[in-house]
């Protein structure tokens, strides 16, 4: 139900999913050293209500931030920005009296000239951007060569632009929530929701995770491989020279050729251990059938058998024949 609501929200451009502070704390705390002496920009948040603003304001000293900036968005009228640069009144703590509120001439859209100027000055962007504008949002971050830590739909990994960034090791998944999902606050008028906490409706979105180009330790850890290649266990694709590996845990340790693995592999991808060749749909025109979401057919007994879901084609860089 929540996944369906999420998809419908994308289609309707209803992007009102608000992140819980616990999810923000669990992920952001892993990047403490990378936040030090940085200007953090929250460009898709209502600063007065945003848990992103709350988290970074409360942990301003802990992270050793240089500055915290957030912009408020309004669909029809001009808004404001908030800035925090430390204990301005020297009362020994970071509090509301240290926050500077400045009017904006525009409406706070991340694509506006004012917000782009703030983006240019920032070091790291951290936020939950509009789901319906994810491609455009990431493209802007790449254009201005910004570090980022953002929430998105895991299905975005299949987008051509996003996948290419993963392939080039310019984008990776974060530490938490991949294939687990997160609960998001939604407006009171939402009819479909999963539960209510403290009077607020929450929806669980199973297809949600963190995306970043900051360093993530797990993407430097080797994936432990324990299975040996057996041609009877790993069928070949009918229209592409690669074997089907239906589970990431089943990647053979002793196979030097190309392999098709589930998209979930990206969460464990170590570019020192593996090479991403591409996505199946990019590499070979597939045989299609109505409603098929697959990319490649598998050969069984010399005949086309069935097509798996989207596959990432990889090679083990460490094993050579």
Question: Residues 103-151: pLDDT tens digits?
Answer: 999 999 999 999 999 999 999 999 999 888 999 999 999 999 999 999 9
- pTM, entire model: 0.87
pLDDT for the residue 53: 94
Cβ contacts of residue 73 below 8 Å, gap of 6+? Answer: 44, 46, 79, 107, 108, 109, 110
CA distance 196 to 210: 24
Question: Residues 147-175: pLDDT tens digits?
Answer: 999 999 998 998 989 999 999 999 999 99
Does 94 score more than 80 pLDDT? no
Question: What are the structure tokens assigned to 130, written together?
Answer: 């509009």
Show the domains of the chain with their CATH numbers: 2-217 (3.40.50), 221-316 (no CATH)
Q: Compute, in degrees rounded to 10, the torsion defined by CA atoms 5, 6, 9, 10.
A: -150
DSSP 230-260: -TTTSPBBSSSS-EE--SGGG-BTT--S-EE
pLDDT for the residue 210: 95
The kind and range of the H/E element at 166 are helix 160-167
The percent of residues in the chain predicted with pLDDT above 70, rounded, is 88
Whether residue 80 contacts residue 94, with contact meaning beta carbons closer than 8 Å, is answered with no
């Amino acid at each position: 139900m929540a996944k369906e609501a999420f998809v419908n929200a994308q289609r309707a451009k209803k992007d009102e999913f608000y992140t819980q502070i616990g999810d923000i704390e669990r992920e952001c705390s892993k990047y403490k050293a990378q936040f030090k002496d940085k200007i953090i920009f929250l460009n898709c948040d209502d600063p007065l209500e945003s848990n992103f603003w709350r988290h970074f304001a409360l942990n301003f000293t802990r992270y050793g931030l240089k500055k915290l900036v957030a912009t408020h968005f309004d669909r029809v009228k001009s808004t404001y920005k908030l800035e925090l640069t430390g204990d301005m009144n020297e009362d020994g703590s970071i509090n509301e009296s240290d926050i500077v509120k400045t009017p904006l001439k525009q409406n706070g859209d991340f694509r506006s000239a004012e917000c782009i100027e703030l983006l240019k000055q920032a070091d790291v962007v951290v936020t939950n951007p509009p789901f319906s504008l994810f491609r455009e949002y990431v493209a802007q971050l790449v254009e201005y060569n910004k570090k980022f830590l953002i929430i998105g739909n895991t299905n975005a990994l299949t987008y051509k632009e996003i996948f290419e960034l993963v392939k080039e090791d310019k984008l990776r998944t974060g530490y938490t929530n991949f294939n687990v999902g997160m609960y998001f606050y939604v407006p009171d008028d939402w009819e479909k929701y999963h539960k209510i906490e403290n009077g607020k409706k929450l929806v669980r979105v199973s297809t949600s995770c963190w995306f970043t180009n900051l360093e993530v330790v797990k993407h430097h850890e080797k994936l432990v491989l324990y299975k040996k290649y057996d041609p009877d266990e790993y069928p070949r694709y009918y229209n592409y020279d690669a074997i089907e590996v239906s589970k990431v845990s089943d990647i053979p340790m002793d196979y030097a050729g190309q392999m098709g693995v589930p998209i979930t592999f990206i969460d464990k991808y170590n570019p020192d251990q593996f090479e991403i060749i591409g996505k199946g749909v990019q590499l070979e025109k597939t045989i299609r059938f109505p409603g098929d979401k697959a990319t490649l057919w598998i050969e069984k007994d010399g005949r086309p058998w069935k097509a798996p879901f989207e596959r990432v084609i990889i090679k083990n860089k460490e094993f050579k024949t």
